[in-house]
Structure 1
Amino acid sequence: MRKFVSRAKRGLLVLSPIALAVAMVAAAAPASSGQEVSPALRAAMQRDLGLSSAQLSQYLRTERLAALQEKKLAAAQGRNYAGSWIEKQANGSFKLVVATTAIRPQKAAGVEIRQARHSFTSLNASKAQLDDVLAHGGRAPKGVYGWYVDLPSNSVVVSVGKGGQKAGIDFVAASGADAQTVRFEIAEEQPSLRMDVLGGYGYLRNPGDGYLYACSVGFSVFQGSNPGYTTAGHCGDAGEVVYYEPSQWTLGVRLGTFAASSFPSPGQTGNDYAWVRLDAVHTPRPTVEGYTSGDVTVRGGTEAAVGAAICRSGRTSGWRCGTIEAKNQTVNYSSGETILNLTRTTACSEGGDSGGSFITGPGQAQGVLSGGSGSCKGKLPNRRTRSYYQPLTPILQAYNLTLVTSP
């Protein structure tokens, strides 16, 4: 971009493109005071960004200016554009910075023009070459956590774990990316997906036999300081890994592993319960997924009476309700297993709902789905539909678990 110049020519003031862009924005949009941000959001921003009220207002004005100018500033710099960002200064105020590979010094009102070595285009090209390794079936080596374009440092940052720098160097070299644009950053911890786990969520096992097996989350629990959830014993064996199911039959983030499981072999008798120990990055919530009916907060585990209304949540049929017909029922399943002490309900269920939550309207957790007859298809209620759940209390006692509740 050309140096800022003013001269008289036929009575006109001629400005450089960047100055013209700044002037146009300033004329079109008055400075924002930041008052349009809700009080709750302002308070959260002040808390988490460490700002005073005055500093936050000044930041919001700078943010507004940046949002309005970004495209104009990039266009003014053309191929020399090396990015723009909001930068906090030592005195706590904020400014908008525009980087350029142009050699000539430049000025613009309200904006700092800073020289850079690599253009925005060249930085993105280097990152794209790293991405292309994955696009063509390659994988990031162990110890390489990720990469991104870092505008203030004018580089492509490759984040590596301790001891992972050699792997990072080899990865960059193999990709063909311009090594001069790359710098390495040592990260303390590898990023991981995190999620709140609710009763009724679907999860999958992938034991490697060519099939995926689906079940549902029961109730959030803790065993000491270890988070987890209850589910049905026939859903998996101790040590098996489970994955969240973001959409049906899609493997999502790893949730954890079966910590313990009880389910008899065909021809034998026993219980049908288990618990999954969550990986530490996930949070068990005192909530049951209500799908289209609204989530239900788990407030306790008081056992409901025969005849009480009860609802269940599961990944296949969602939120379904019925009444408790009987307790302590022995059920002989068609596959040959006999399960003791189940509670019989008129709620419908489908395959994949196993392990899911049974809860009362006031939020009292009852148990996890073991099995059923009939289906959720057709007119409901009907005489054919039954579901059986393993009561929760024996599960908690068997594995020394504490139910996660909310007042």
Structure 2
Amino acid sequence: MKHRRMPKRKVAMAGGAVVALVAAGVTFQSANASDNTEQFAAKPLSAVAAGNLASTLSKDLGADSAGTYYDAEAKSLVVNVVDEAAAQIVRKAGGKARIVENTLAELKTARQTLTTKATIPGTSWSVNPVTNTVVVTADRTVKGAQWTKLSQVVKALGGKAELKKSAGEFKPLIAGGDAIHSGGGRCSLGFNVVKGGEPHFITAGHCGKAGSEWSDSAGGAPIGTMVDSQFPGNDFSIVKYSDSTEHPSEVDLYNGSSQPITKAGEATVGMKVQRSGSTTQVHDGEVTGLDATVNYGNGDIVEGLIQTTVCAEPGDSGGSLFAGDTAIGLTSGGSGDCSAGGETFFQPVPEALAAFGAEIG
């Protein structure tokens, strides 16, 4: 959708009020991990194919899996494991095995410790398989006693966690790509979907509440009604179309063309992704963390998010995160901007589809 009525409805973006994300860099550490000589060559894989293999190996390895990430340069899936027996399974499947110090269970325990002892507004944490740690980021509002408390908790976790400071402020992003409007707010359409055989679209949950009406222009006639919205905890919502306008499964690329979307997929650390939004249009970046917990303040804590280096600004919320023809996420929030750079957090699309009983279409 654009800012006017049109014969086709495209996928994208988000809306109405707030700001984008923090720059939390990734430090590549070698102290916690080592690569072993492999008997089997790693298969060259696309990022999406690597994500599928990661899901399969995660089930096969169980507790022996310590996370995965995509090596874009080598086009291979790197799988962290805790012993040589597990490494052999990875190699036979076509992945690159890497024996690391911290298990996923240990990193999960570290996250639980952070939740119990350091639930502070303006913080986020996510597992980074490249560093084999939980990366904790504090925005500029975390200072004084809160910063001291957070630092002490992270220090006590030893090699399981690392602390970073952001110059920005974590906020949900309101507004976005092909703009959608409700009342005085503007958000972005994420992806067109089908639920119960009827056309809908998904966007960020913080954009509005169930029962709110949405238009593709400020003050325009409603094109749909939000039937379900989840925020905080999750950050996704679904709107049922109420008009007969076409709604192809596409993302607006803002260059006169669009990207067809044929399926939804899981993010993988190292995956190259693009974001489309009405404020800043199309930008690209890389997935740096998964299962991120973000505390936006005022009790608004969202879990299970994708962390990336893609920039975003107010007006991009709810918009599309995608890799080729695969829907990956919905823009949630973060800090920074598209001049100086920043990071964003995204609600995974597969989770939203499962919650709503919907599919891409």
Q: TM-score, normalised by structure 2?
A: 0.51
In structure 2, distance between residues paired with 1:316 and 1:253: 22
Determine whether 1:203 maps to 2:180. Answer: yes
Q: Out of 349, 353, 360, which is 1:392 matched to?
A: 349
Aligned to 2:296: 333
Aligned to 2:319: 356
Q: Out of 292, 315, 320, which is 2:283 matched to?
A: 320
Identity of aligned residues (%): 33
In structure 2, distance between residues paired with 1:214 and 1:229: 15
Q: Kindly report which structure 2 residues correspond to 1:159-170, keeping only aligned pairs within 5 A, or say none.
A: none
Q: Which has the larger share of helix?
A: 1
How much has 1:227 moved relative to structure 2? Answer: 0.7
In structure 2, distance between residues paired with 1:293 and 1:271: 33
Q: Kindly report which structure 2 residues correspond to 1:8-407, keeping only aligned pairs within 5 A, or say none.
A: 195-200=7-12, 201-206=178-183, 212-245=184-217, 250-264=218-232, 270-292=233-255, 294-360=257-323, 362-378=324-340, 382=341, 385-404=342-361
How much has 1:355 moved relative to structure 2? Answer: 0.5
In structure 2, distance between residues paired with 1:221 and 1:299: 10
CA distance 1:374–1:315, shift in 2 (3 Å): same
CA RMSD in angstroms, aligned pairs only: 1.6
Show CA shifts across 1:180-199 (max 9, x none): xxxxxxxxxxxxx6632211
Deviates more, 1:341-350 or 1:295-304: 295-304
How much has 1:293 moved relative to structure 2? Answer: 7.5
Show CA shifts across 1:1-58 (max 9, x none): xxxxxxxxxxxxxxxxxxxxxxxxxxxxxxxxxxxxxxxxxxxxxxxxxxxxxxxxxx
CA distance 1:237–1:280, shift in 2 (3 Å): same
Contact kept? 1:194, 1:281, Cα under 8 Å: no
Contact kept? 2:262, 2:360, Cα under 8 Å: no
Gaps of 5+ in 1: 1-192, 207-211, 265-269
Gaps of 5+ in 2: 13-177
Larger radius of gyration: 1
Contact kept? 2:267, 2:306, Cα under 8 Å: no
How much has 1:335 moved relative to structure 2? Answer: 4.3
Letter in 2 for 1:365: A
In structure 2, distance between residues paired with 1:334 and 1:403: 32
> Which gives a bigger RCO, structure 1 or 2 (Cα 8 Å, sep 6+)?
2
